[in-house]
Copies of this chain bind each other. A is one copy, B any other.
Amino acid sequence: MNQKFKNGTIMLGAKPSIITTSAIGGQKEGDGPLGKYFDYICTDGKFGQGTWEKAETEFQKEAFHFALDKGDFTETNIDYIFSGDLLNQCTASAFAHRSSNTSYVGLYGACSTFVEGLALSALFINGGYAKYTATCVSSHFCAAERQYRYPMEYGGQRTPTAQWTVTAAGCLVMGENMPNFPSITAVTLGNIVDAGVKDANNMGAAMAPAAFDTLDKIFTDTNTKPSDYDLIVTGDLGTVGRNLLCDLFMMEQNIDISPNLIDCGAEIYSIDTQDVHAGASGAGCSAAVFCGYIVNEIRRGRWKKVLFAGTGALLSPLSTQQGETIPSICHAVCIG
């Protein structure tokens, strides 16, 4: 039996399971501390294609097929693909899935897209609308850099609060509940929070209040506190945003959330040695870190009850040029 709470958290009666996952990364992601968790590291940033945008399509396509292969699935087993990316008009996703004969649900939630897809997948399976779904999300450093900031050739300087867009894709196949598989017990689709931050090079600061808002709602709805979870994973606040989220919980509720909080953007690279400033971002970051690192460690028994909260900064280069603030969002799913 489902249960819906005041602030929007839905407890899922059917507890859909994470059946299989895949993570594909680029060279820099492979060189990072989570390199061993990737299914495949593509050392060619163009993935054999002529452009970075086409390469991102390949990353996502490969992630999808790796996940299918690992689960002994074919495309015909998948009822719905939930997909999105950061490219204008989400073309990496559309082109990656243009030859699949599977219902396609296009999403845009910036770096929250992967969790948005997981939440919808869980609701679809829980509601009996699907037996299996695939959530597939990507980003590419060079494609994002030239779309959001400067041409690569320009070699623009990055500020200390800037995050490095990952070149990666993740795919998660969800299905009906299977005993001993990690399962989704609850989902919370968040609302947009705009804290008035205008600095497009400090998205962590813009997104931290959205993460606080959604996490606070979940704790209230389910009458839990941060220490009730083995792990709280945000993605992608980076180091600056992660610290701000800790400060918000300390200031507002006198709770120290830091002991069991990690952020995908702060984990995927060695902050000290890989020159990424405030860490990582990009829709592919939380997708790959969750599908590679987190799910595998859950399977190994390291963590049992995990809260996965994906944050997104809903700005565009044009909105920044027009002097706008950065509306942000955070969606979450609870595992175990």
Q: A residues within 8 Å of B by Cβ?
A: 2, 4, 8, 10, 50-51, 53-54, 79-80, 84, 86-91, 94-95, 97-110, 116, 120, 123-124, 126-129, 188-194, 312, 314-319, 322, 324, 327, 329
B189 close to A104 (CB less than 8 A)? yes
List of B residues within 8 angstroms of A88 by Cβ: 88-89, 316-318
List of B residues within 8 angstroms of A188 by Cβ: 103
A103 close to B322 (CB less than 8 A)? no
Contact A87 B316, CB 8 Å, known A95-B327, A127-B123: yes
B90 close to A314 (CB less than 8 A)? yes
A53 close to B322 (CB less than 8 A)? yes
What number of copies of this chain does the assembly contain? 2
State the CA gap A98–B54 with chains docked (Å).
Answer: 32
List of B residues within 8 angstroms of A194 by Cβ: 98-99
B189 close to A103 (CB less than 8 A)? yes
B8 close to A106 (CB less than 8 A)? no
A89 close to B192 (CB less than 8 A)? no
Q: Can you list 7 pairs linking A and B with CB atoms under 8 Å apart?
A: A84-B108, A87-B318, A98-B314, A102-B191, A105-B107, A120-B120, A123-B127
Name A109's contact: one of B106, B110, B316 (CB within 8 Å).
B106
A316 close to B192 (CB less than 8 A)? no
Contact A129 B99, CB 8 Å, known A107-B106, A108-B106, A318-B91: no
List of B residues within 8 angstroms of A2 by Cβ: 128-129
**Distance (Å) between the CB of A228 and the closest chain B CB?**
23
Contact A324 B89, CB 8 Å, known A100-B191, A107-B107, A191-B100: no
A95 close to B128 (CB less than 8 A)? no
Contact A103 B190, CB 8 Å, known A54-B322, A89-B108: yes
6 pairs of A and B residues whose beta carbons are closest in the complex: A127-B127, A94-B314, A89-B316, A98-B327, A103-B189, A108-B108
State the CA gap A314–B93 with chains docked (Å).
Answer: 9
Name A129's contact: one of B116, B123, B327 (CB within 8 Å).
B123
Assuming A50-B322, A95-B314, A108-B108, what are 11 further A-B pairs, CB within 8 angstroms? Answer: A51-B322, A88-B88, A88-B317, A89-B108, A98-B192, A98-B193, A98-B327, A100-B191, A105-B120, A106-B108, A127-B129
Which residue, of A54, A106, A316, A329, has the highest number of chain B Cβ atoms within 10 A? A106
List of B residues within 8 angstroms of A97 by Cβ: 191-192
**Distance (Å) between the CB of A277 and the closest chain B CB?**
22
Closest residue of B by beta carbon distance from A214: B103
State the CA gap A319–B315 with chains docked (Å).
Answer: 21
List of B residues within 8 angstroms of A329 by Cβ: 94, 104, 106
List of B residues within 8 angstroms of A189 by Cβ: 80, 103-105
**Distance (Å) between the CB of A312 and the closest chain B CB?**
8
State the CA gap A104–B120 with chains docked (Å).
Answer: 12
Which residue, of A51, A99, A108, has the highest number of chain B Cβ atoms within 10 A? A108
